[in-house]
Structure 1
Amino acid sequence: MKKSIWISGILAVSLLAVTCQVSRKNAPQTAQTTTNQPVETVPVFTANPSPAHLTPEQSLNSFRLPKGYHLELVASEPMIHEPVAVAWDGNARMYVVEMNTYMQDVDGSREHEPTSRVMLLEDTDNDGKMDKSSIFIDKLLLPRMLLCVGHELLVNETDTYDIYSYKDTNADGVADQKRPVFNPGKKAPGNLEHQRSGLDWNLDNWIYVTVDPVRFRYTNGQLKADSIPSGSGGQWGLTHDNYGRLYFSSAGGEVPALGFQINPIYGRMEFKDQYREEFNAVWPIIKTPDVQGGLHRIRTADTTLNHFTASCGQVVFRGDRLPSDLSGDLLISEPVGRLIRRAKVSNKAGKTTLENAYHNEEFIASTDMNFRVVNMYTGPDGCLYLVDMNRGIIQEGNWTRADSYLRPQITRLGLDKNIQHGRIYRLVHDGLKPGAKPQMLEEASSKLVTHLDHANGWWRDNAQKELIVRNDQTVVPVLKAMATGQKANSALGRLHALWTLEGLNALDKEMIMKDLADNDAQVRRAAVRLSEPYLKQNDAALLARLDDLKTDPSFDVRTQVVLSLSYSSSSRARALAQEVIALAPDNEMVARAQKSLDKNEDVKKFGRRLGSLDETDRKLVLSGATIYKSLCTTCHGSDGKGLESKAAPPLLGSQRVRNRNKDITIRILLHGLSGPIDGQTYPDGMPAMGANDDEWLASVLSYIRYEFGNNQNPGVRPADVKAVRDQTAGRQKAWTLDELVN
């Protein structure tokens, strides 16, 4: 959810032979089949799409898909409205988050009223369509994250870090029990588009979120926080693959995918060539005038969106009821372009790379101007699920102000009138029947263990999670047999058995030693990571065993050895890490692993640089660092140098930041900044942040001026902000550089 074509020549690889063979230039009106209607009726390109709201049946006829694929309607209005996220419990009951106050008019009026909710949907006749619903939780403030744990649902709302557990104790479909599971009691800063998403229970039993530099562990019914020094990154949407690799995206930074090289706990690692520049181009099948970036982000030839501006809701598809060549692919939604990108994920000597599966076209595209997918999931039935807000405006009010490029486009088309709808679709394929419905909440733990080897990643993940939530130690012996290959099972089954043992605190060194010799590289890699508690103790036997892996045929394993050795303080561990690096002189991942660790340590030591400041300024800078890493990095970059996409101007060395007149930066943060900056035009202006209080603004500016302006004493206090706020009271538009310097 950020301010966010089907056009192809014959593909060269048989792997992608499922696509339609239509070129954008020649554009014959033929293609595949969608539900209820042939694709021939959906043009290759529509120059003047109607902004009118479509019924669900009409929407189903608006999609272009690869041959054999179909979208089916799972739920729609009036059953649901404004859906943004879903989660299934162990019995495949679907919980749907509704943001019912999100942009109900072009001004975002009454957005923060607590009238949103979580719906509970059920498919009682197993036909794939939801036929039973109830309001599970009512009167919420824009709920944004949810996670099922056993019979409970964890929920986080906008503007707060608090997370509560809800439970239905009398089986009427309505939560009647609420308890806190994480309550720091602090207000969450920033625009609602810049707050966290996720609650993704990963393979490693840590629960990850975007934006905030933190992850959680679910222990004894509570979420225990662990800091991620270099931050988690990302914005709206979070997913993981079969091996626990996390994929973030940043709509504000116009970055469709990031953070997927290493786990963020070890630091940050990005490569310029992890995908090519052409990967950033998107291919809608309709004219897309309502683009936040304005003319800068529109193709002059056909007025289509030319670049990701709203990437979100990504998923690595891990189901078993769609063609096998889709398994492991990364899907990214672009709701401004009304399309879904399909990216092939490759491992090249340990480095993960992405490539569009098609040439100048997309996996799914729609002529429905209200098609706004904001989240995607692998479902319990092995199919792909799309959460479509189905609305006219997708950008939040900060980007639809009276002086914005967007507002006249929205009002001209009447997009602001299309509200309170919503669709959930599932993607199916000819000849592949959706899988059976799980009953994990009633099953014995011994039965859950068998699901750890299931072909559908949803089943593996949720069986692991349920076993850990139950903390049933009776299954430990069979898990150990499974993890070491004594029982016939797949490498993925062994992997989940290992991590389930870890989650049950039943993993021992002997088990790790055995799996360090597994014939599957990803199992060996996991065993290296699982050795970290012993490395913290400088265990000599483990160090000696890791020495055997310094020439491992898999660079994934070697990279993990370098990362995990950082947990040991012994000189032998440091020497071994250098040996691993020396033995792979031409491998980028192994070399960069140590650099990422070093940078991570620098972040941990950041407080040492503040010793020269008095206590008040030191607290402001530290508070501002947290806000900056959570909010500002998506556009300005973690190092203040900006992003390659040039989403926003660099802060490092900026004359506004370095200027002794701190009032300039205060004015910018209060009211925003528009127009060219230092001769460069950017897709968006700097939004106003004046809704935050004086201390919040002073903290951000103190950090920015100290970190990027070479100001040894940043000197921005809340009183300074208040003075400028009073002087500029009544100003309703962003500043220009000419106004600020004259």
Structure 2
Amino acid sequence: MKRNKQWLAGLVGLSLLTYTCKVSQQVIKRDAEGKIIVNTAPSPAYLSPQESLKTIHVPKGYRLELIAAEPMIHEPVAMVWDGNGRLYVAEMNTYMQDVDGTGEMKPICSIKRLEDTNGDGKMDKSVVFVKNLVLPRMIQTLDDRLLVNETNSNHIHSYRDTNGDGIADEKKLVYKNDAINTSNLEHQKSGLIWNLDNKMYVTVENKRYSYEDGMIKSENLPEGPGGQWGLTNDNYGRLFYSSAGGEVPALTFQQNPMYGRLDLKDQFNEDFQAVWPIISTPDVQGGLGRLRADSTLNHFTASTGQSVFRGNSLPEDVLSDLFICEPVGRLIRRAKVTNTEGKITLKNIFEKEEFLASTDMNFRPVNTATGPDGCLYILDMYRGIIQEGEWTRKGSFLRKKILERKLDQNIGRGRIYRLVYDGIKPDKTAPKMLDMSSNQLVQYLSHANGWWRENAQKLIVIRGDKSVVPELKAMVLNSSTSQLGRIHALWTLNGLKALDNETILSMLKDKDAEIRKTTIWASEERVLNGDDQLIAAMKPLINDPSADVRFQLALTLRFSNSEKAGILTKELLANNTDNEVITTSQKKYQSIMDARALSKRNALLLKEADQKLINKGSLIFNQLCATCHGADGKGVAIGGKNMVAPALANSSNVTGDPEKLIKILLHGLSGPINGKTYPDVMPALGANDDDYIASVISFIRNDIGNKASVVKPADVKKVRQETNGRDKSWTKTELETAKK
């Protein structure tokens, strides 16, 4: 069946040519003491792309160029390039079109494909690649196929244009999971990034994915990795998550989540969590507690869209820095990532100011990425409301501010910028990787821009082309090849299932510590299968001079049932009692194993139906509630800050009257709890069915240090009927008086 083409090229191309596209080098206004003078009375009015550019401040030498804007794109949330440099943009066209989020789940969202046809760095051609979607949240390119996941669904489909008209006409279900996700759209997974280890990772969910024989397969992680909107990786495959709900700008980056979650309280300090807008920020969910005296946001609250810069068209000192978007503060943080004996810490590049900040109230940076040209790309959703309807309900602090400023009226727009630097020209090489042979792709495994390296590896692995194995082996063993080129060649061999023991044994003795570490990681499957020859060859590495190598060895041996692996692990741990990361990781893992053993023993004492409730509640808790309450129920406290939500472990509030818990989950909770005020509210989960609510409550009452009766779906149904019509959150005082 023919489909109507939906081109915007002519009009949009001409309109983009009229843009100045450069930010004038404006200096942030400061007082006599050097402090930033904040715009305390910003206008909420819509600004054209040219006008908005003038409000965005970046350091001297940097500037932004406009790449795309409305009407070419609308409500953009995610972006990814294919091997030929075409940019796919996911649009949540139904997101918060009014203060109540009316019609959000209508299947009218789309994914656009943008192209720069004349090489000037600006998109001049746009087509609706896929339409009729429900809030598309995850996109990833394979070869000429695009993977897509929609809100409320666990399926992953691939889309392909088979006739060259730019519109997808082939749709295939490549990962099937019929379970419907009923969580709030802010609490569902995001990411699906292709990592160095040939796995695709997501936030929230305790799974990772891989491509095999034309399908996507999943494997379980020991626990959910946490995070919320956004996920990124660095040149060596380290993952960085963010949690907007938990108000944690970065987390789960000490080790790969395949080994469990690990966060250290001092991986950054309180100063890192303070943000420095140049604009009054009244529209914050946390209310007055999240504002300074000058009315600016005082703390990360909407951390999202992070990326590690891996390009080659910005100054060298930017390479490997972490950029984190804060759309409520209208800013982007640039953080320096430091590795000290295997422990990763983050620090703001600037003192009490941000790398990028705007005075435009509708500037909403929600995503960043390194592009094929080696520049950093910034996706601006450009809208008034940036909070889901669950937090803009009647009576909320946020709703009042939105309506006062008429922020609900700015919808349906969006911009994409690229960050460039004076004196450094973006790489104008037009990617044609989809048209290259595998042999031609091998050379790009050593490219200076991580985008090219990653895509070359991905394409070779997807093709399964083993004709390049000899060339890859030679590349791995050649010490004169770049370090990152050898690492990518190593993982490409791994992805082709062609990494043999001869190569591994040689690389374990390499002079480069990062090569040794990567070799241990890439050979993990053989270790888990009990390859005693390989395990024996790793014994010298328990005393490796690099803490990173020793840490990776401890992680890789962790799940092996080999007797030799167990002996090595004990010796390694005994020799590293002074290494915080290695010892803390092992203690965390052991505590998880102990908790599971206890849960298993308790399960034997429960009826089968009750245990099913608890098991379902465990999954929901770890994917949703753990973001704020902690995986162990003891709360989230990273960076020396107070917890964002009360602890649930060993809590009389949890093991007490179950009706209070039912009311809280149905309608939410706000205000002080036991005399303590938290920065966020407990959102209502009443949109979920009675079984869902009963499961979560039954889990927290029978795990994480608690022991009490389970809650049945019928109990939830009764309370739901009794409180029918309630449209606001409960307070602790209301709950107490309601029972008297």
TM-score, normalized by length of structure 1? 0.93
**Aligned with 2:733 (options 722, 730, 738):** 738
The answer to whether residue 508 in structure 2 is matched with residue 512 in structure 1 is no
Answering whether residue 25 of structure 2 is matched by residue 38 of structure 1, we say yes
In the TM superposition, residue 566 of structure 1 has moved relative to its aligned partner by 1.8
Alignment of 1:564-579 (within 5 A): 564-579=556-571
**Which residue identity is paired with 2:736?**
V
**2:707 is equivalent to residue 711 of structure 1:** yes
Distance 1:600 1:133 in 2: 49
Give the Cα separation in 2 of the matches to 1:140 and 1:588. 46
CA-CA distance at 1:146 after TM superposition? 0.4
Q: 2:43 aligns with which of 50, 56, 59?
A: 50
The 3 A distance-change label for structure 1 pair 121 and 532 is same
Would the aligned equivalents of 1:275 and 1:353 in 2 still touch at CA under 8 Å? Answer: yes
Q: Which amino acid aligns with 2:732?
A: L
Aligned to 2:577: 585
216, 223, 232: which one aligns with 1:223 = 216
Corresponding residue for residue 637 of structure 1: 630
C-alpha distance in structure 1 between counterparts of 2:519 and 2:505, whole Å: 8
User: C-alpha distance in 1, partners of 2:521/2:593?
Assistant: 19
Do the aligned partners of 2:106 and 2:134 also contact (CA within 8 Å) in 1?
yes
Equivalent position SS for 2:378 = strand
Identity of aligned residues (%): 56
Match in the other structure for 2:17:
none
Q: Which residue of 1 aligns with 2:514?
A: 522
Task: Identify the residue that residue 690 of structure 1 maps to in structure 2.
Answer: 686
* More displaced stretch, 530-539 vs 226-235: 530-539
Of 709, 718, 725 in structure 1, the residue corresponding to residue 720 of structure 2 is 725
Q: Report if aligned partners of 2:192, 2:202 keep a CA contact under 8 Å in 1.
A: yes
Q: Deviations over 1:104-139 (max 9, x none)?
A: 111111111111100010000011110001000111
Q: How far did residue 64 of structure 1 move?
A: 1.1
SS of the equivalent of 1:548 reads helix
Helix, strand or coil: the match of 1:71? strand
Q: Name the counterpart of 1:289.
A: 282
Post-superposition Cα deviations, 1:208-234, rounded to whole Å, max 9, x if no partner, equal 000110000110111111001221210
Are the aligned partners of 1:671 and 1:732 in contact in 2 as well (CA < 8 Å)? yes
Amino acid at match of 1:694: D
Q: Secondary structure at the match of 2:559?
A: coil
**TM-fit CA distance, 1:285:** 0.5
User: Which position in structure 2 is the counterpart of 1:647?
Assistant: 644
AA aligned to 1:38 is Q
Q: CA deviation at 1:600?
A: 4.5
Q: Quick one: which amino acid aligns to residue 114 of structure 1?
A: P
Tell me the residue number matched to 1:563. 555
Partner of 1:168: 161
Q: Given the alignment of the two structures, is residue 147 of structure 1 paired with residue 154 of structure 2, yes or no?
A: no
Is 1:248 the counterpart of 2:235? The answer is: no
TM-score of the two chains, using structure 2 as the length reference: 0.94
Q: Which residue of 1 aligns with 2:448?
A: 455
Q: Per-residue deviation at 1:575?
A: 2.1
Return the alpha-carbon distance in structure 2 between the equivalents of residues 648 and 41 of structure 1. Answer: 36
SS at match of 1:236: coil
Q: RMSD between aligned alpha carbons?
A: 1.5
CA contact under 8 A between 2:204 and 2:624: conserved in structure 1? yes
CA distance in 1 between partners of 2:689 and 2:672 (Å): 28
In structure 2, the residue corresponding to 1:313 is in which secondary structure? strand
Which letter maps to 2:119? N
Contact 2:532 2:564 in 1 (8 A): no
Partner of 1:27: none
Counterpart position of 2:271 = 278
CA distance in 1, matches of 2:119, 2:529: 52
Contact 2:64 2:419 in 1 (8 A): yes
CA shift, 1:36, in A, is: 4.6
Cross-structure match for 1:658: 655
| Residue among 401, 412, 417 paired with 1:425 | 417
Runs (5+) with no aligned partner, structure 2: 1-19, 31-35
Identify the residue that residue 334 of structure 1 maps to in structure 2: 326
* 8 A Cα contact 2:668 2:684, kept in partner: yes
Residue 242 of structure 1 and its aligned partner are, at CA, apart by 0.7
Give the drift of 1:50.
Answer: 1.1
Residue 295 of structure 2 corresponds to 303
Q: Is the 8 A contact 2:21 2:50 kept in 1?
A: no
Q: What is the match of residue 187 of structure 2?
A: 194
- Alignment correspondent of 1:675: 671
Amino acid at match of 1:649: P
Partners of 2:631 and 2:127 lie apart in 1 by: 43
Task: State how far apart, in whole Å, the 1-side matches of 2:505 and 2:497 are.
Answer: 17
Letter in 1 for 2:256: N
- Separation in structure 1 between the aligned mates of residue 243 and residue 506 of structure 2, nearest angstrom: 40
In the TM superposition, what is the alpha-carbon distance from 1:539 to its structure 2 partner?
2.6
The CA distance in 2 between the partners of 1:539 and 1:184, in whole Å, is: 34
Give yes or no for contact 2:232–2:307 (8 Å, CA) kept in 1. yes
1:602 Cα deviation after fit: 4.2
Please give the secondary structure, in 2, of the residue aligned with 1:180: strand
Q: Is the 8 A contact 1:188 1:195 kept in 2?
A: yes
Paired letter, 1:139: N
Aligned to 2:433: 440
Kindly indicate whether the alpha-carbon contact (under 8 Å) linking 2:204 and 2:228 is maintained by their aligned counterparts in 1.
yes
Q: Spell out, residue by residue over 1:174-217, the C-alpha distance to the aligned partner (whole angstroms, 9 max, x if none).
A: 10010001111110131000001000110001100001100001
- Report how far residue 235 of structure 1 moved: 0.4
Secondary structure of the residue aligned to 1:39 is coil
Pair 1:104-2:101 in alignment: no
Determine helix, strand or coil for the equivalent of 2:505. helix
Matched residues in 2 for 1:98 and 1:388: separation? 12
Distance, in Å, in 2 between the alignment partners of 1:286 and 1:156 is: 35
Q: Secondary structure at the match of 2:461?
A: helix
> What amino acid does structure 2 have at the position aligned with 1:716?
V
